[in-house]
């Protein structure tokens, strides 16, 4: 318990991988494995996964779609690869209501994204009390990314990380682990990752 949060600079990304197949540069789903580890080790029965990669994390959604113990929130460009992530996809069975998708048109900029992100976190907060928050931290949302079509700046990740931390501080003692997903402009991905780490490290 010496550290409240962490940033995992792993590659390749993971959020397109489902439980039984690789997809979209993703051999295995790191955040899904982390969520199950937290649950099975008794560290955190209820886990929230927040995905700010430009793509919808179809693998993560699929793995937890019928599971009410893991909440999956994604903001993503839509329609776009991999084609999933419509607003009406909200989970099924025991997982009904613990999936939340916020599809965004190409060209969405930082200020608007940050507002919608804060609003979405507010919705999750009203519906779910996590014991741990995992972030699928993709940086292909940045303007200039060769794959993505949104227009965030590295400094926007200071705000996004602050919103996640504020929620985690209230909900679960600030326990947050951010795991690198996509991001294909190396220099700007680095700047945004540093902004995230600094916002996590701020006491």
Per-residue contact track with Zn ion, 178 to 197, x per CB under 5 A?
Answer: ----x---------------
- 168, 176 Cβ separation under 8 angstroms: yes
Q: How many CB atoms lie within 10 A of CB 126?
A: 8
Alpha helices in the chain (DSSP H): 30-40, 58-64, 110-127, 156-172, 186-201
User: Is residue 138 involved in binding Zn ion (CB under 5 A)?
Assistant: yes
Among 140, 145, 153, 156, binds Zn ion (CB under 5 A): 140
User: Is residue 51 involved in binding Zn ion (CB under 5 A)?
Assistant: no
C-beta of 34 vs 38, nearer to Zn ion: 34
C-beta of 8 vs 174, nearer to Zn ion: 8
User: Is residue 30 involved in binding Zn ion (CB under 5 A)?
Assistant: no
Cβ-based neighbours of 164, under 8 Å, separated by 6 or more: 50, 121, 133, 135, 176
Alpha helices in 65-185 (DSSP H): 110-127, 156-172
Task: Report, in Å, the least distance between residue 185 CB and Zn ion.
Answer: 12
* Given 15, 16, 30, 76, the catalytic residue: 16
Cβ-based neighbours of 10, under 8 Å, separated by 6 or more: 30, 179, 180
C-beta of 85 vs 182, nearer to Zn ion: 182
User: Is residue 57 involved in binding Zn ion (CB under 5 A)?
Assistant: no
Residues making contact with Zn ion (CB under 5 A): 53, 55, 138, 140, 182
- Catalytic site positions: 16
């Amino acid at each position: 318990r010496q550290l409240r949060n962490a940033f995992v600079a792993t590659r390749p990304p993971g959020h397109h991988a489902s439980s039984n197949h690789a997809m979209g540069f993703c051999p295995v789903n790191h955040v899904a494995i982390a969520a199950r580890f937290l649950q099975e080790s008794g560290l955190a029965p209820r886990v929230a996964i927040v995905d700010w990669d430009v793509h919808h994390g179809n693998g993560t959604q699929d793995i937890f779609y019928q599971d009410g113990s893991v909440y999956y929130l994604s903001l993503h460009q839509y329609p776009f690869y991999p084609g999933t992530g419509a607003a009406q996809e909200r989970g099924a069975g025991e997982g009904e209501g613990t999936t939340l998708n916020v599809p965004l048109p190409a060209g969405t900029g930082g200020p608007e994204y940050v507002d919608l992100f804060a609003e979405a976190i507010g919705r999750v907060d009203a519906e779910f009390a996590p014991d741990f928050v995992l972030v699928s931290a993709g940086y292909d949302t940045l303007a200039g990314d060769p794959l993505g079509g949104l227009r965030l700046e590295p400094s926007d990740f200071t705000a996004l990380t602050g919103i996640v931390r504020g929620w985690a501080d209230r909900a679960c003692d600030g326990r947050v682990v951010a795991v690198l997903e996509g991001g294909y402009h190396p220099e700007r991905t680095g700047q945004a990752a540093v902004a995230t780490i600094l916002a996590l490290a701020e006491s």
